[in-house]
Chains A and B, each alone.
Chain A
Amino acid sequence: METYKLTVNGQPREVTVDPGTPLLWVLREELKMTGTKYGCGIGACGACTVHLDGVATRSCVVPVSLVGNRPIVTIEAMAEDPVGRVVQDVWVSHDVVQCGYCHSGQIMAAVALLKSMPKPTDTDIEESMGGNLCRCGTYVRIREAIKAASLQLR
């Protein structure tokens, strides 16, 4: 077991875990932040996406030992984030969510996209969001919501 000092949503946190523990389980089990979801556990579905130093990151495959001093931002902080707030609003106005399980990750990926690329094309959206799976098939609404958020953010 090792002790790690992390910065999560701007707050200093300390955890003592096995170095190989995925960040996802540190967030969910140690810090009780359950907004980030477990989907596949191998980085293939995107449900566990968080931002690590601003980069959309699959927390299920990143051991806490490799996080270092990079700030971690999770879905719990999106309401306070200027882009995150807009994305959450369009998610509601476009009625994007069906079951909702994957949408923590979908929103984190969408925010990363819009921060990096404020005017994404359909191809940009499809490529950037292509690793975030939705069993309910809400992809069309996700794309429209991102385009709407892009317009609002200009």
Chain B
Amino acid sequence: MAGKEETMQANNIMLRAILFILIVCVWSASTLTGAASRDEPQKTNAGGSIRAEGLAAWQQVYAVLTHPRCINCHTATDYPQQGDDRHRHFANVVRGPTGEGVPGQQCVTCHQEANADSTGVPGAHDWHLAPLSMQWQDPNDKILSSTDVCKAVTDRSKNNNLDSAGLLKHHSEEPLVLWAFRPGRGIDGSMRTLPPLTHEQFVAATRTWAEAGTPCPQNP
């Protein structure tokens, strides 16, 4: 009697084990299938695939460009912004004729060659506002659409005549771009928030977008 019960228990365990293995196999197969479908090019041809990848990469670039560390100095107004809430820069700071402030109040009146973490003032070489042609906000501080920012960034009459290689170099090497990924401490001692990508990821996304011919999304 005891032997029969032991045999039934062993069969029960065996059945449960087989059921578990089956569940795991089905789950793995569905996961892999899903991954494959995400990675599968959205295309009908190779050109479409490259463009789709370029547009996806642009959306990553756009997410960085519109982060406060970047867009606070790409205003449509006569002044820079500061903080994650993108408020007007304190001390009545104004743009000035070249985006570097005015004689008694230049950007370098406070912003030095490097972050001043002991006093909470950010710094990098040649601190200045982007030109008005590179505004990524409207005059009411509303961030422009992905389409409009993309058009501005790729318009050589507005972007300091940068082609795709120039844009990639700008994103890779420009000190103020690099600063955005190492923004230092604020006046309260806390670290400033970072853009949604690392600098390496940002450059990689820019490269993918550039190699796809810097495509811009259509207006929704």
Interface residues of A (CB under 8 A from B): 18-22, 42-46, 49, 55-58, 60-63, 66, 68, 109-110, 112-113, 115-117, 124, 127-132
Contact = CB atoms under 8 A, between A and B. Distances in A.
A116 to B, nearest CB: 4
Given A63-B118, A66-B114, A58 B109 contact: yes
A132 B110 contact: no
A73 to B, nearest CB: 14
B162 interface: no
Q: Tell me the dominant secondary structure on chain B's binding face.
A: loop
Interface in B91-142: 91-94, 96, 102-106, 108-110, 112-114, 116-121, 123
Contacts of B110: 43, 57-58, 61-62
B2 to A, nearest CB: 80
A128 B119 contact: no
Interface of B: 90-94, 96, 102-106, 108-110, 112-114, 116-121, 123, 187
A120 B89 CA distance: 24
A44 B96 CA distance: 18
Contacts of A61: 110, 116, 119-121
A110 B103 CA distance: 9
B103 A130 contact: no
A62 B102 contact: no
A130 B78 CA distance: 14
Nearest to A117: B103
A131 B92 CA distance: 6
Contacts of A57: 108-110
A66 B116 contact: yes
